[in-house]
Each structure stands twice: as C-alpha cells, then as structure tokens.
Amino acid sequence: MAKELRIGVLGCGFMGKAHSNAWSQVSHFFDREHKPVLKAVYGRKEDMDKLEPFARRWGYESIETDWRKVIERDDVDLIDVCVPNIMHHDCVIAAAEAGKIVVCEKPLAMNVQEAEEMVAAVEKAGVPNMVSFNYRRVPAISLAKQIIDEGRIGRPFHYRATYNQDYTISTKVPQGGLALWRLDAKVAGSGVTGDLLAHSIDTAEWLNGPIQKVTAYTETFVKERVHAETGKVEKVNIDDACMFLAVFANGSLGTFESTRYARGRKNYNTLEVNGENGAVFFDLEDPHVLQYFRYADPDIGKKIEDHLTGWQRIHVTNAEHPYMKNWWVPGCTIGYEHTFINSFADFLASLEGGPKFQPDMRQALRTQRVCDAVLQSAKEGRWVEIPA
C-alpha cells in the first residue's frame, strides 16, 4: 500500500509548474513507496489570476496567499520552495522548524550567510532536504559522470561551461514581477551568476571535483530599467554577464561564461571536459545526446587506431543509460520536465533507505560559496580562494 506524501508547493510560476508536474508523474514511472499528493499551493495575492487556475489544473486541494499557512498545516509533510531567491531563507528555515521535509529551488540562497543559516536549520531539525540542481539528472549528463568516473577520459585538463540566453537585450524589458524578478538584485541576489552559473558550478563540481579559486569579470549592459512594481526607472544592480576562470583541486583549469545577451541563444547550457584519454561534450539544446571522444581505451589499455578516432554522438535513450529504463523504448527521447521527475524519483528513493540524495543543502552551500567568490572577485578584481 503506497504511503501518501502530502506536498505543499510554494510558488505557482515556472518552477511551481515544473515541480507540480514532477510530483504528479513520479509514481507513474518509478516504483516508490511514497505517493505524492498535491495538497496546497502558495502564490502572491497579486498573482491570484494565475494561482486559482493553476491549483485547478494540477488538482491541488487548496490555495494560500500566505506561504507561512502552507508550512503550518498538519496535513502537509513536504514543503517545496519554488519562489524567488529572496524568500528561500525564511521559507526553508520555517519549514525545517516545523519538521517538514524540504525541497528548495536553486540557488540555495541570496548569499553564503543565508545559506549557512539554512543548512544549520535543516541539520538541527534533522529533516531530509534537497536542492533542485536538476541538470545532474539529465540522462546525458549522468552518463558523462559515469564515463568520467569509469576513468575513460583520464586525467582532466580543461572544463568549459557556458550558460547563455538572450531575453534581456531589449532596454524595454522591465525589472521586477513574475519571471523578471531575476533582474532585480533585491529579489534575486545576483544576475546570471546565481541564476545560471549556479547550475554550471553544481554540475562542474559534481563531474570534476571542487573548485579551489576563481577570477571573474561581470558586466551590466543596461544600467537602468523600469521596475514593474513601482513603475519608476531604477538602477539595475544585477550582473547581466559573468565570465570566470577557475582552478580545480585536481589541477584542471575551468572557463565559465554566462550572459543574457547572447543573441540567438535561448538556454545554451553546455559543458566540455577534455582529458588525457578522451573528452565529453553536452549541449542542453540537444539534450538527449552526449558527445564522447575516445583517444585511448582503458578497457583495452591502448590508443584507438588513428583512422577510427572522432567524436561519437551517443543517443542517450537505451535502457542501460541513466534513468532511461523508467521511460520509453530505445530511441524515444525525454525532455526538460523529466529532469525534475528523475530528481524526485531519487529523492523519494533516499527517503526509503536508498542512497543519500545529492545535492542536499550542505552541498548546495558549496555552490553558493563559489558564486559568492565569483561576485567578490569581479568586484575586487583579484583571484578569490574558495574554502574547502
């Protein structure tokens, strides 16, 4: 008999939708003891026109416009934080103190100090927790991890990440309000560093180990924008673009680039790792493919013959590939939304005695440390070390 896991989702926007879908779908595709039930969803009063149809569409039993009321409910076991970054700290701490299981969207917090307080709260309360760095659960990225861990690319020399978009080029895009709170530093904490590079950093440390130090440069191309909530033209305080160099503990070098001004790029999240014996490349705009270059094969202990070397496109849809046995037959692809379903499947497994879910909040605190170091480096124009 399945055990009900009663979910309260804070947020009815983009991630509210992605998470509601994932909670609804996970038991259809993965055998888990827990069966998520959508109990309550929060949205702001000013977003009521979105909140009511949202709750009906996803089958929530009730709505709240005060997020604390969702947390106080006895009939909610898990709080899922899908609201802007400024709210993560208070929501997570209140949820932990109420003894709820906590899921939180990335970036964990506005800054390291907040993140440390959140980690302390969930650890003191002893509640299971996860942070939604969902790209780890793209099957092709999980396969890259497997290939690297199997020693197939050998000693890594270079890690290269981009996360580029183009939706803020127009000076007419306001700051503030649904989705565009990302342009308001008071609500987002930072610009592309927390929003996009946090993903790249989480994936990079997962694939290639800890980053030791960084040097960064940021730019704000459009200095003033109308604020959607005040109607006034206000200074823009976020980083529109950020580039940084990194040195990893394993001695490899990293370059990270992120901007919302790369005309033509929508969600160009790529990574490449170049090792002594091979390389891997992934592009989220082509999400079911992992490119793999084999120079030498550890299984046969020798170099691949020259006339056979070249990039191999692995269509990551076989049952042997990460997560894919739970989806369709070989050749049939899955998409963006499945990364959240795969994440919740792993998180439920961890609640049921499976491997501890990563990244939890303690791991996401590391990503926050790297983000803060990047911003500090850009401000001070120097290399900044990240504490181990």
Residue span binding ligand NAD (CB under 6 A) among the ranges 78-86, 117-125, 231-239, 276-284: 78-86
- What angle is formed at CA 19 by the lines to CA 13 and CA 25, rounded to 5 degrees? 135
- What angle is formed at CA 299 by the lines to CA 294 and CA 300, rounded to 5 degrees? 90
Which of 309, 297, 359, 327 is closest to 134 using CA atoms? 359
Which of 182, 192, 164, 173 is closest to 262 using CA atoms? 164
Contact flag: residue 82 with ligand NAD (CB under 6 A)? yes
Contact flag: residue 12 with ligand NAD (CB under 6 A)? yes
Tokens of 164: 């580029």
Q: For the chain, how far is it from start to end, CA to CA, in angstroms?
A: 44
Residue span binding ligand NAD (CB under 6 A) among the ranges 7-15, 72-80, 110-118, 230-238: 7-15
Tokens 């369709």 correspond to 328
Which of 132, 125, 131, 128 is closest to 93 using CA atoms? 125
Tokens 């890690």 correspond to 159
Contact flag: residue 47 with ligand NAD (CB under 6 A)? yes
- The H or E element that residue 89 is part of is helix 85-97
Contact flag: residue 181 with ligand NAD (CB under 6 A)? yes
Contact flag: residue 44 with ligand NAD (CB under 6 A)? yes
Among 27, 111, 129, 134, binds ligand NAD (CB under 6 A): 134
Residues in the chain: 388
Q: Shortest Cβ contact with ligand NAD: which residue?
A: 13
Q: How far is CA 96 from CA 12, 73, 315, 348, 356, in A?
A: 21, 13, 41, 18, 18
The CA distance from 342 to 290, in Å, is: 18
Among 105, 202, 239, 360, binds ligand NAD (CB under 6 A): 105
The CA distance from 184 to 105, in Å, is: 18
Which of 182, 260, 244, 180 is closest to 212 using CA atoms? 244
Residue span binding ligand NAD (CB under 6 A) among the ranges 76-84, 118-126, 142-150, 230-238: 76-84
Which CB sits closer to ligand NAD, 114 or 252? 114
Cis bond leading into 107, ω under 30°? yes
Contact flag: residue 200 with ligand NAD (CB under 6 A)? no
Among 84, 156, 254, 275, binds ligand NAD (CB under 6 A): 84
Which CB sits closer to ligand NAD, 164 or 274? 164
Which CB sits closer to ligand NAD, 187 or 290? 187
Residue span binding ligand NAD (CB under 6 A) among the ranges 10-18, 150-158, 289-297, 359-367: 10-18
Contact flag: residue 14 with ligand NAD (CB under 6 A)? yes
The CA distance from 82 to 60, in Å, is: 15
The CA distance from 121 to 365, in Å, is: 13
Q: For the CB of residue 241, give the shortest distance to ligand NAD in the complex, in Å.
A: 18
Which CB sits closer to ligand NAD, 203 or 215? 203
Contact flag: residue 268 with ligand NAD (CB under 6 A)? no
Contact flag: residue 238 with ligand NAD (CB under 6 A)? no
Contact flag: residue 68 with ligand NAD (CB under 6 A)? no
Q: For the CB of residue 51, give the shortest distance to ligand NAD in the complex, in Å.
A: 7
Which CB sits closer to ligand NAD, 194 or 278? 194
Q: Give the number of C-alpha atoms closer than 13 A to the C-alpha of residue 255, restricted to the C-beta side.
A: 6
The CA distance from 6 to 74, in Å, is: 10
Which CB sits closer to ligand NAD, 145 or 186? 186
Residue span binding ligand NAD (CB under 6 A) among the ranges 5-13, 89-97, 318-326, 375-383: 5-13
Contact flag: residue 328 with ligand NAD (CB under 6 A)? no
Contact flag: residue 111 with ligand NAD (CB under 6 A)? no
Tokens of 387: 């504490």
The CA distance from 277 to 286, in Å, is: 24
Q: For the CB of residue 293, give the shortest distance to ligand NAD in the complex, in Å.
A: 28
Binding site residues, ligand NAD, CB under 6 A: 11-16, 43-44, 47, 82-85, 105-106, 132, 134, 177-179, 181, 187, 195
